[in-house]
Amino acid sequence: MRYLLIGVLLSLCGVLISMIIWGMEKIYLVSGTIGCIFIVISMIFSGSMVSGDRMRANFATETTEHRDGRNKITLNSLYIALPNIIVAVLFYYLRK
């Protein structure tokens, strides 16, 4: 829940920064960029961007603690990204 709140605060800061720099026309840019960055971080830590052979090798060699930590980082970065993406999509479609 804490990471979702961090995502909401980042999206609010992104909206304010966008309003100061570009005005209402491109208000979705900063928040959408923050969301995309955290989604990429989530994809990297989940291990979904490697081939099947590499995924099996990583799964066989990592410990349970390491896997749990990696999954925790994946979920936390996704929780931060979701409010930013939602705000960016809403402002993109409300601007029309």
| pLDDT tens string 25-39 | 888 889 999 999 999
Per the structure, the complete domain to which residue 8 belongs is given by 2-94
| pLDDT tens string 64-87 | 999 999 999 999 999 999 999 999
Cα 31 off chain centre by = 10
Record the pTM: 0.86
Q: Please state, in angstroms and rounded to a whole number, the distance separating the CA atoms of residues 42 and 84.
A: 14
Of 1-15, 27-41, 47-61, the least confident: 47-61
Number of domains in the chain: 1
Phi then psi for residue 12, to 5 deg, are -65, -45
pLDDT, residue 94, reads: 87
Read off the DSSP letter of residue 62. S
